Chains A and B, each alone.
Chain A
Protein backbone atom coordinates (compact mmCIF):
# COMPACT_ATOMS: atom_id res chain seq x y z
CA UNK A 1 0.00 0.00 0.00
CA UNK A 2 1.16 3.52 -0.78
CA UNK A 3 2.61 5.40 2.18
CA UNK A 4 0.11 8.06 3.34
CA UNK A 5 1.14 11.63 2.55
CA UNK A 6 0.49 13.45 5.81
CA UNK A 7 1.84 16.77 4.49
CA UNK A 8 -0.77 16.77 1.74
CA UNK A 9 -3.41 15.75 4.26
CA UNK A 10 -2.39 18.62 6.55
CA UNK A 11 -2.67 21.08 3.65
CA UNK A 12 -6.11 19.75 2.73
CA UNK A 13 -7.26 19.97 6.33
CA UNK A 14 -6.02 23.55 6.61
CA UNK A 15 -8.01 24.54 3.53
CA UNK A 16 -11.00 22.62 4.86
CA UNK A 17 -10.92 24.56 8.10
CA UNK A 18 -11.05 27.73 6.03
CA UNK A 19 -14.31 26.47 4.51
CA UNK A 20 -13.10 24.74 1.32
CA UNK A 21 -15.52 21.84 0.95
CA UNK A 22 -13.60 20.15 -1.90
CA UNK A 23 -10.47 20.06 0.20
CA UNK A 24 -12.53 18.68 3.07
CA UNK A 25 -13.95 15.91 0.94
CA UNK A 26 -10.46 14.99 -0.30
CA UNK A 27 -9.13 15.10 3.27
CA UNK A 28 -11.91 12.81 4.54
CA UNK A 29 -11.24 10.31 1.75
CA UNK A 30 -7.52 10.25 2.58
CA UNK A 31 -8.31 9.93 6.27
CA UNK A 32 -10.58 6.97 5.51
CA UNK A 33 -7.70 5.22 3.71
CA UNK A 34 -5.20 5.89 6.48
CA UNK A 35 -7.60 4.78 9.20
CA UNK A 36 -8.71 1.67 7.33
CA UNK A 37 -5.10 0.50 7.09
CA UNK A 38 -4.49 1.35 10.74
CA UNK A 39 -7.65 -0.44 11.93
CA UNK A 40 -6.98 -3.52 9.80
CA UNK A 41 -3.60 -3.99 11.42
CA UNK A 42 -5.09 -3.74 14.90
CA UNK A 43 -8.52 -5.34 14.56
CA UNK A 44 -8.64 -7.25 11.31
CA UNK A 45 -10.90 -6.51 8.37
CA UNK A 46 -14.34 -7.08 9.88
CA UNK A 47 -14.38 -4.12 12.24
CA UNK A 48 -12.28 -1.78 10.11
CA UNK A 49 -15.26 -0.28 8.28
CA UNK A 50 -17.01 0.59 11.55
CA UNK A 51 -13.84 2.20 12.86
CA UNK A 52 -13.40 4.23 9.65
CA UNK A 53 -16.94 5.63 9.88
CA UNK A 54 -16.65 6.43 13.57
CA UNK A 55 -13.28 8.08 13.03
CA UNK A 56 -14.64 10.21 10.18
CA UNK A 57 -17.46 11.36 12.47
CA UNK A 58 -15.02 12.03 15.31
CA UNK A 59 -12.68 13.98 13.02
CA UNK A 60 -15.64 16.07 11.91
CA UNK A 61 -16.69 16.77 15.49
CA UNK A 62 -13.13 17.35 16.69
CA UNK A 63 -11.90 19.45 13.77
CA UNK A 64 -11.87 22.57 15.93
CA UNK A 65 -9.08 20.98 18.00
CA UNK A 66 -6.77 20.57 14.98
CA UNK A 67 -3.97 23.11 15.06
CA UNK A 68 -2.51 23.60 11.53
CA UNK A 69 0.84 24.60 13.07
CA UNK A 70 1.23 21.11 14.50
CA UNK A 71 1.67 17.83 12.61
CA UNK A 72 -1.61 16.17 11.68
CA UNK A 73 -0.40 12.58 12.14
CA UNK A 74 -0.53 12.38 15.99
CA UNK A 75 -3.85 14.25 16.03
CA UNK A 76 -5.46 11.90 13.55
CA UNK A 77 -3.98 8.70 14.95
CA UNK A 78 -5.00 9.63 18.52
CA UNK A 79 -8.61 9.93 17.35
CA UNK A 80 -8.38 6.74 15.28
CA UNK A 81 -6.77 4.88 18.17
CA UNK A 82 -9.57 5.82 20.56
CA UNK A 83 -12.10 4.48 18.04
CA UNK A 84 -10.08 1.28 17.62
CA UNK A 85 -10.03 0.80 21.40
CA UNK A 86 -13.79 1.38 21.57
CA UNK A 87 -14.42 -1.09 18.76
CA UNK A 88 -12.21 -3.72 20.39
CA UNK A 89 -14.02 -3.21 23.69
CA UNK A 90 -17.42 -3.57 22.00
CA UNK A 91 -16.23 -6.71 20.24
CA UNK A 92 -15.03 -8.23 23.53
CA UNK A 93 -18.34 -7.39 25.21
CA UNK A 94 -20.26 -8.85 22.28
CA UNK A 95 -18.28 -12.10 22.38
CA UNK A 96 -18.73 -12.35 26.14
CA UNK A 97 -22.48 -11.75 25.87
CA UNK A 98 -22.83 -14.28 23.08
CA UNK A 99 -21.02 -16.86 25.18
CA UNK A 100 -23.21 -16.06 28.18
CA UNK A 101 -26.39 -16.21 26.12
CA UNK A 102 -25.55 -19.43 24.37
CA UNK A 103 -27.76 -22.11 25.94
CA UNK A 104 -26.19 -24.88 23.91
CA UNK A 105 -22.96 -25.74 25.66
CA UNK A 106 -21.05 -28.69 24.23
CA UNK A 107 -22.18 -31.88 25.83
CA UNK A 108 -25.70 -30.79 26.61
CA UNK A 109 -27.05 -31.97 23.27
CA UNK A 110 -30.30 -33.84 23.57
CA UNK A 111 -31.24 -37.24 22.24
CA UNK A 112 -29.35 -38.64 19.31
CA UNK A 113 -26.90 -35.78 18.91
CA UNK A 114 -29.61 -33.31 18.02
CA UNK A 115 -28.44 -29.77 18.74
CA UNK A 116 -30.66 -27.73 20.95
CA UNK A 117 -31.64 -24.31 19.71
CA UNK A 118 -29.28 -21.63 20.88
CA UNK A 119 -30.32 -18.09 21.60
CA UNK A 120 -28.24 -17.04 18.64
CA UNK A 121 -30.28 -19.29 16.37
CA UNK A 122 -33.54 -18.10 17.89
CA UNK A 123 -32.35 -14.56 17.36
CA UNK A 124 -31.64 -15.23 13.72
CA UNK A 125 -35.29 -16.26 13.22
CA UNK A 126 -36.64 -12.93 14.41
CA UNK A 127 -37.73 -10.28 11.94
CA UNK A 128 -34.77 -8.19 10.80
CA UNK A 129 -35.60 -5.04 12.75
CA UNK A 130 -36.32 -6.87 16.04
CA UNK A 131 -33.09 -8.82 15.67
CA UNK A 132 -31.04 -5.72 14.98
CA UNK A 133 -32.50 -3.85 17.98
CA UNK A 134 -31.83 -6.77 20.35
CA UNK A 135 -28.32 -7.26 18.98
CA UNK A 136 -27.46 -3.62 19.53
CA UNK A 137 -29.05 -3.48 22.98
CA UNK A 138 -27.95 -6.78 24.42
CA UNK A 139 -24.90 -7.89 22.50
CA UNK A 140 -23.22 -4.56 21.85
CA UNK A 141 -24.45 -3.05 25.11
CA UNK A 142 -25.71 0.17 23.51
CA UNK A 143 -28.31 2.33 25.21
CA UNK A 144 -31.84 2.70 23.85
CA UNK A 145 -30.93 6.24 22.79
CA UNK A 146 -27.86 5.12 20.87
CA UNK A 147 -29.85 2.38 19.14
CA UNK A 148 -32.56 4.89 18.27
CA UNK A 149 -29.98 7.18 16.67
CA UNK A 150 -28.26 4.33 14.82
CA UNK A 151 -31.49 2.96 13.34
CA UNK A 152 -33.33 6.23 12.86
CA UNK A 153 -36.11 5.37 15.34
CA UNK A 154 -37.52 7.05 18.41
CA UNK A 155 -36.46 5.77 21.84
CA UNK A 156 -39.97 4.55 22.66
CA UNK A 157 -40.12 2.79 19.31
CA UNK A 158 -36.87 0.99 20.15
CA UNK A 159 -38.32 -0.11 23.48
CA UNK A 160 -41.51 -1.42 21.89
CA UNK A 161 -39.58 -3.34 19.21
CA UNK A 162 -37.23 -4.78 21.85
CA UNK A 163 -40.19 -5.82 24.06
CA UNK A 164 -41.84 -7.66 21.15
CA UNK A 165 -38.51 -9.21 20.21
CA UNK A 166 -37.93 -10.54 23.73
CA UNK A 167 -41.43 -12.03 23.80
CA UNK A 168 -40.86 -13.75 20.44
CA UNK A 169 -37.46 -14.96 21.60
CA UNK A 170 -38.97 -16.41 24.81
CA UNK A 171 -41.68 -18.20 22.85
CA UNK A 172 -39.16 -19.56 20.41
CA UNK A 173 -36.91 -20.89 23.18
CA UNK A 174 -39.87 -22.29 25.14
CA UNK A 175 -41.06 -24.28 22.12
CA UNK A 176 -37.73 -26.05 22.03
CA UNK A 177 -37.68 -27.18 25.66
Chain B
Protein backbone atom coordinates (compact mmCIF):
# COMPACT_ATOMS: atom_id res chain seq x y z
CA UNK B 1 0.00 0.00 0.00
CA UNK B 2 1.37 3.42 -0.95
CA UNK B 3 1.84 6.08 1.72
CA UNK B 4 -0.89 8.36 0.34
CA UNK B 5 -3.37 5.47 0.21
CA UNK B 6 -2.47 4.51 3.74
CA UNK B 7 -2.98 8.06 5.02
CA UNK B 8 -6.35 8.22 3.24
CA UNK B 9 -7.39 4.91 4.82
CA UNK B 10 -6.30 6.05 8.28
CA UNK B 11 -8.12 9.38 7.93
CA UNK B 12 -11.27 7.52 6.83
CA UNK B 13 -10.93 5.36 9.93
CA UNK B 14 -10.63 8.41 12.23
CA UNK B 15 -13.21 8.33 14.96
CA UNK B 16 -13.21 9.49 18.51
CA UNK B 17 -11.29 7.11 20.70
CA UNK B 18 -11.59 6.66 24.41
CA UNK B 19 -8.41 7.85 26.07
CA UNK B 20 -6.59 5.30 28.16
CA UNK B 21 -7.50 5.49 31.87
CA UNK B 22 -5.18 7.53 34.09
CA UNK B 23 -2.24 5.68 35.63
CA UNK B 24 -3.53 6.09 39.22
CA UNK B 25 -6.91 4.66 38.25
CA UNK B 26 -5.30 1.73 36.44
CA UNK B 27 -3.11 1.03 39.45
CA UNK B 28 -6.13 1.13 41.75
CA UNK B 29 -7.94 -1.31 39.44
CA UNK B 30 -4.98 -3.68 39.60
CA UNK B 31 -4.85 -3.45 43.41
CA UNK B 32 -8.58 -4.18 43.63
CA UNK B 33 -8.18 -7.26 41.43
CA UNK B 34 -5.22 -8.42 43.52
CA UNK B 35 -7.01 -7.86 46.82
CA UNK B 36 -10.18 -9.49 45.49
CA UNK B 37 -8.31 -12.54 44.28
CA UNK B 38 -6.43 -12.80 47.60
CA UNK B 39 -9.70 -12.66 49.55
CA UNK B 40 -11.38 -15.24 47.33
CA UNK B 41 -8.48 -17.68 47.28
CA UNK B 42 -7.75 -17.44 51.01
CA UNK B 43 -11.49 -17.40 51.76
CA UNK B 44 -10.99 -14.18 53.68
CA UNK B 45 -8.89 -15.86 56.35
CA UNK B 46 -5.32 -14.58 56.59
CA UNK B 47 -3.22 -14.97 59.70
CA UNK B 48 -1.68 -11.53 59.43
CA UNK B 49 -0.44 -11.56 63.01
CA UNK B 50 1.97 -14.40 62.19
CA UNK B 51 3.16 -12.87 58.97
CA UNK B 52 6.75 -11.71 58.58
CA UNK B 53 6.02 -7.97 58.39
CA UNK B 54 9.28 -6.99 56.65
CA UNK B 55 8.72 -9.50 53.85
CA UNK B 56 5.11 -8.42 53.36
CA UNK B 57 6.10 -4.75 53.25
CA UNK B 58 8.93 -5.45 50.78
CA UNK B 59 6.55 -7.42 48.58
CA UNK B 60 3.96 -4.66 48.70
CA UNK B 61 6.53 -2.06 47.59
CA UNK B 62 7.79 -4.38 44.82
CA UNK B 63 4.20 -4.96 43.69
CA UNK B 64 3.38 -1.23 43.62
CA UNK B 65 6.54 -0.10 41.85
CA UNK B 66 6.49 -2.92 39.28
CA UNK B 67 2.79 -2.45 38.53
CA UNK B 68 3.10 1.35 38.22
CA UNK B 69 6.15 0.97 35.97
CA UNK B 70 4.36 -1.61 33.79
CA UNK B 71 1.34 0.67 33.40
CA UNK B 72 3.43 3.78 32.61
CA UNK B 73 5.54 1.78 30.14
CA UNK B 74 2.43 1.40 28.00
CA UNK B 75 2.45 5.14 27.24
CA UNK B 76 4.97 5.82 24.46
CA UNK B 77 7.60 8.40 25.33
CA UNK B 78 7.13 8.34 29.11
CA UNK B 79 10.49 7.51 30.65
CA UNK B 80 9.42 7.53 34.30
CA UNK B 81 8.69 3.81 34.19
CA UNK B 82 12.39 3.05 33.96
CA UNK B 83 12.90 4.39 37.49
CA UNK B 84 10.03 2.31 38.87
CA UNK B 85 11.16 -0.72 36.92
CA UNK B 86 14.74 -0.57 38.13
CA UNK B 87 13.59 0.20 41.69
CA UNK B 88 11.28 -2.84 41.83
CA UNK B 89 13.96 -5.18 40.47
CA UNK B 90 16.59 -3.76 42.87
CA UNK B 91 14.18 -4.18 45.78
CA UNK B 92 13.60 -7.78 44.75
CA UNK B 93 17.35 -8.36 44.69
CA UNK B 94 17.86 -6.65 48.07
CA UNK B 95 15.07 -8.69 49.62
CA UNK B 96 16.48 -11.92 48.17
CA UNK B 97 20.00 -10.88 49.18
CA UNK B 98 18.86 -10.28 52.76
CA UNK B 99 17.28 -13.74 52.91
CA UNK B 100 20.45 -15.28 51.43
CA UNK B 101 22.66 -13.59 54.07
CA UNK B 102 20.35 -14.83 56.83
CA UNK B 103 20.48 -18.31 55.29
CA UNK B 104 24.27 -18.33 55.55
CA UNK B 105 24.11 -17.33 59.21
CA UNK B 106 21.79 -20.24 60.16
CA UNK B 107 23.20 -22.77 57.70
CA UNK B 108 23.97 -25.32 60.40
CA UNK B 109 20.43 -25.29 61.89
CA UNK B 110 18.12 -27.11 59.43
CA UNK B 111 14.88 -26.06 61.15
CA UNK B 112 15.85 -22.38 61.21
CA UNK B 113 17.01 -22.65 57.60
CA UNK B 114 13.96 -24.37 56.07
CA UNK B 115 11.15 -23.54 58.53
CA UNK B 116 8.13 -25.69 59.37
CA UNK B 117 6.26 -25.36 56.05
CA UNK B 118 7.40 -27.08 52.82
CA UNK B 119 8.65 -24.39 50.41
CA UNK B 120 7.22 -26.22 47.39
CA UNK B 121 3.72 -25.63 48.72
CA UNK B 122 4.34 -21.89 48.95
CA UNK B 123 5.92 -21.85 45.47
CA UNK B 124 2.90 -23.53 43.89
CA UNK B 125 0.38 -21.38 45.77
CA UNK B 126 2.29 -18.18 44.96
CA UNK B 127 2.16 -18.99 41.25
CA UNK B 128 -1.52 -19.95 41.51
CA UNK B 129 -2.41 -16.75 43.38
CA UNK B 130 -0.48 -14.73 40.80
CA UNK B 131 -2.66 -15.79 37.89
CA UNK B 132 -5.60 -13.42 38.37
CA UNK B 133 -3.55 -10.28 39.21
CA UNK B 134 -1.23 -10.97 36.26
CA UNK B 135 -4.10 -11.40 33.82
CA UNK B 136 -5.73 -8.24 35.15
CA UNK B 137 -2.51 -6.28 34.73
CA UNK B 138 -1.93 -7.63 31.20
CA UNK B 139 -5.38 -6.35 30.28
CA UNK B 140 -4.75 -2.98 31.90
CA UNK B 141 -1.35 -2.57 30.21
CA UNK B 142 -2.81 -3.52 26.84
CA UNK B 143 -5.14 -0.52 27.02
CA UNK B 144 -2.06 1.54 26.24
CA UNK B 145 0.50 0.96 23.49
CA UNK B 146 3.56 -1.03 24.50
CA UNK B 147 6.80 -0.07 22.77
CA UNK B 148 9.20 -2.18 24.84
CA UNK B 149 7.47 -5.52 25.14
CA UNK B 150 10.27 -7.35 26.98
CA UNK B 151 10.62 -5.00 29.95
CA UNK B 152 6.88 -4.41 30.14
CA UNK B 153 6.29 -8.15 30.33
CA UNK B 154 8.94 -8.62 33.02
CA UNK B 155 7.40 -5.85 35.13
CA UNK B 156 3.83 -7.06 34.57
CA UNK B 157 4.64 -10.61 35.61
CA UNK B 158 6.81 -9.43 38.51
CA UNK B 159 3.93 -7.33 39.84
CA UNK B 160 1.44 -10.18 39.38
CA UNK B 161 3.71 -12.69 41.10
CA UNK B 162 4.49 -10.20 43.88
CA UNK B 163 0.73 -9.97 44.49
CA UNK B 164 0.64 -13.78 44.75
CA UNK B 165 3.68 -13.84 47.04
CA UNK B 166 2.15 -11.12 49.22
CA UNK B 167 -1.02 -13.15 49.63
CA UNK B 168 1.04 -16.19 50.58
CA UNK B 169 3.28 -14.25 52.94
CA UNK B 170 0.16 -13.14 54.85
CA UNK B 171 -0.81 -16.81 55.20
CA UNK B 172 2.56 -18.49 55.65
CA UNK B 173 3.96 -18.60 59.19
CA UNK B 174 7.52 -19.39 58.08
CA UNK B 175 10.23 -16.74 58.33
CA UNK B 176 13.02 -19.20 57.46
CA UNK B 177 15.40 -17.65 54.91
CA UNK B 178 15.63 -20.55 52.47
CA UNK B 179 11.87 -20.99 52.62
CA UNK B 180 11.44 -17.28 51.74
CA UNK B 181 13.99 -17.55 48.94
CA UNK B 182 12.60 -20.70 47.31
CA UNK B 183 8.94 -20.52 48.22
CA UNK B 184 8.27 -16.79 47.92
CA UNK B 185 10.97 -15.20 45.80
CA UNK B 186 11.76 -17.93 43.25
CA UNK B 187 8.19 -17.87 41.84
CA UNK B 188 8.52 -14.12 41.20
CA UNK B 189 11.75 -14.69 39.28
CA UNK B 190 10.15 -17.60 37.39
CA UNK B 191 7.11 -15.46 36.54
CA UNK B 192 9.35 -12.64 35.27
CA UNK B 193 11.15 -15.12 32.99
CA UNK B 194 7.85 -16.54 31.75
CA UNK B 195 6.78 -12.96 31.00
CA UNK B 196 9.93 -12.37 28.99
CA UNK B 197 9.25 -15.54 27.03
CA UNK B 198 5.74 -14.50 26.03
CA UNK B 199 6.38 -10.75 25.78
CA UNK B 200 5.81 -10.33 22.07
CA UNK B 201 2.81 -12.63 22.04
CA UNK B 202 1.12 -10.69 24.84
CA UNK B 203 2.05 -7.12 24.11
CA UNK B 204 2.90 -6.75 20.41
CA UNK B 205 -0.14 -6.36 18.23
CA UNK B 206 0.06 -7.05 14.48
CA UNK B 207 -0.11 -3.87 12.42
CA UNK B 208 -3.14 -4.48 10.27
CA UNK B 209 -4.34 -1.53 8.20
CA UNK B 210 -7.99 -0.68 8.79
CA UNK B 211 -10.31 -1.80 6.02
CA UNK B 212 -10.73 0.94 3.42
CA UNK B 213 -14.24 2.34 3.36
Contact = CB atoms under 8 A, between A and B. Distances in A.
A14 B205 CA distance: 25
A60 interface: yes
A84 to B, nearest CB: 11
A128 B19 CA distance: 43
Given A146-B206, A149-B206, A61 B7 contact: no
A76 B144 CA distance: 14
B7 A19 contact: no
Interface string A70-96: 100111111101100000000000000
A9 interface: no
B16 A19 contact: yes
A109 B52 CA distance: 72
Contacts of B7: 25, 28-29, 32, 56
Interface residues of B, number: 31
A75 B77 contact: yes
Interface residues of A, number: 37
B213 interface: no
Contacts of B54: none
Contacts of B182: none
A65 B14 contact: no
B1 A53 contact: yes
Interface in B18-48: 18-20
B205 A74 contact: no
15 contacts: A18-B16, A19-B15, A24-B10, A24-B11, A25-B7, A53-B6, A56-B6, A57-B6, A57-B207, A64-B20, A70-B77, A74-B76, A75-B75, A75-B76, A78-B77
Interface of B: 1, 3, 6-8, 10-11, 13-20, 74-79, 144-145, 147-148, 205-210
Interface of A: 16-19, 21, 24-25, 28-29, 32, 49, 52-54, 56-58, 60-65, 67, 70, 73-79, 81-82, 145-146, 149
Given A53-B3, A64-B18, A76-B76, 8 more contacts: A16-B14, A57-B207, A57-B209, A65-B144, A78-B76, A79-B76, A79-B147, A82-B147
